[in-house]
Amino acid sequence: MPAPSVLRTSSGSGSDTDSGAGVEGPVSGRPQPLDMDFVRGRFPALAGPFVYFDNGGGSQILQPVLDRMNDHLVRHNVQLGASYPLSVAAGDALVDAQRGVATLINAADPDEVVMGSSTTALLRMIAASVGQTLEPGDEIIVTSGDHEANIGPWLELERVGARIRWWHADPDSGELERAGLEPLLGDRTRLVAMTHTSNILGSINPVSEIAGLVHRVGAILCVDGVGFAPHRAVDVRAFGADLYVFSFYKTFGPHHAVLWGRRDLLRELPGHGFGFVSEDDVPYKFQPGNANYELSVSVLGILDYLAELGMTEDTSPRGSAVPRAAVQSAFDRIALHEEELIRPLMALLAGRDGVRIVGRPEADRGARVSIVSFVSSRRSSREIVTAVDAHGIGIRHGHFYSARLIDQLGIDGGDGVVRVSMVHYNSPAEVDRLIDALDPLI
């Protein structure tokens, strides 16, 4: 029986690169350094002495996000769809939020933006939708290098007759290699699920390259961008994936998330059982009930901040809209700062006998983000983290819901790795504090 058309793509589908940068890492050239007084002044939590190096679990929130949330709750906290002016204004605010997120991720159409409560919830929703289109024997490829949020929902499709195939990470490096995927792709492949950036390794996977392979067999690509989005500019048109999802609470915003999908794909995928609208009403057919109004509106504060951070003479807005070039410029500056931030920590770890850096040992911003994981033969990961707690520094140990990868790398899953997850608001002085704390422990 032929495959349902909804899960078939042409070899060129989803590869529009009309996006400015068109790359997954930073653009060429050396960006201007960040003004750290400005940056840290935008995050109220950073006024205290505590050092936040557990950002992979959740970042601190921006003041512009809080301002927009508060403004909406005070001035526009009404139901949408009525004729009275406050309801009209509230509806306009939601439309602006859709447009703003479209700019943030470089979507071609605001209708491609689906808001939801979390990445996990959105992935479960879209997997359930895809499951309604499958025939027995259709194949789904998942990786051993992903967070469980982008594995478990697809495994559930075995119940409708799907065959699960595993793209295993390299047992030594933990990396997802193209050579491991190619033999798995075939005529029955319907979807490949992968991570953009490992929350253990910090490696940036070549999504656009993988998208080309996946589309060659007519399948679609679903990417978990949670580990990528806080560190680099999301550009869904350049990446070439068909579905892309990440959480705003790890990207300086509220506990809210976004799923992007190609508009034609979202229109064809069944939404029955999720929303209260017609099957043609994208994106609302994928939203169970109303989107959270105040959280959706507050996300525009992230765009406000990135516009300030990335604004130059070349990226200055013409009118009220934030230009995409400002977003890219901001993340180029962020990438440079993070590369310099992790360099001394990685030098410390690389210079110690008995310490294993889990991931790439170099600080190259084109290949990795500022997530640094390691294990030590001197002390358990739990002991190291507990000792660092006493210094007013927040790091973490564990498998971070990537237990399959930890197991494949031969690391004790109960103790896991020590993970230091930095973002651009962290400072060199904070890294020095961490190094002083780690030095006698490792």
Average pLDDT, the chain: 91
Instruction: Find, among 179, 186, 97, the residue nearest to 140 by Cα.
Output: 186
Domains (range + CATH), the chain: 67-303 (3.40.640.10)
Exposed e or buried b for every residue in 208-218, given b needs 16+ CB within 10 A?
bebbbbbbebb
Cα separation, 357 vs 61, whole angstroms: 29
In this structure, the chain runs to a length of: 442
Task: List, for residues 57-108, the tens digit of each pLDDT value.
Answer: 999 999 999 999 999 999 999 999 999 999 999 999 999 999 999 999 999 9
Q: Would you tell me how many other CB atoms lie within 10 Å of the CB of residue 249?
A: 20
User: Which residues make Cβ contacts (< 8 Å) with residue 396, sequence separation at least 6?
Assistant: 54, 56, 57, 385, 418, 419, 421
- pTM (global) more than 0.85: yes
User: Which residues make Cβ contacts (< 8 Å) with residue 183, sequence separation at least 6?
Assistant: none
Cα separation, 236 vs 22, whole angstroms: 9
Question: Where are the strands (E) in 67-188, listed by range?
Answer: 113-116, 139-143, 163-167
Tell me the pLDDT of the chain (442 aa) as tens digits.
Answer: 333 345 665 444 443 333 333 346 554 468 899 999 999 999 999 999 999 999 999 999 999 999 999 999 999 999 999 999 999 999 999 999 999 999 999 999 999 999 999 999 999 999 999 999 999 999 999 999 999 999 999 999 999 999 999 999 999 999 999 999 999 999 999 999 999 999 999 999 999 999 999 999 999 999 999 999 999 999 999 999 999 999 999 999 999 999 999 999 999 999 866 666 677 788 888 887 788 999 999 999 999 999 999 985 454 444 446 789 999 999 999 999 999 999 999 999 999 999 999 999 999 999 999 999 999 999 999 999 999 999 999 999 999 999 999 999 999 988 999 999 999 999 999 999 999 999 999 9
Report strand pairing: 257-261 vs 355-357: unpaired
Cα separation, 284 vs 61, whole angstroms: 27
> CA quadruple 135, 138, 269, 151: dihedral positive or negative?
positive
Helix (H, G, I), strand (E, B) or coil at 113: strand
Query: Is the previous residue joined to 283 through a cis bond, with omega within 30 degrees of 0?
Result: yes
Task: List, for residues 320-345, the tens digit of each pLDDT value.
Answer: 467 899 999 999 999 999 999 999 99
Residue in this structure with the two tokens 């807005």, named with its chain if needed: 317
Query: Which tokens hold the place of 171?
Result: 């047992």
Report strand pairing: 51-52 vs 371-376: unpaired
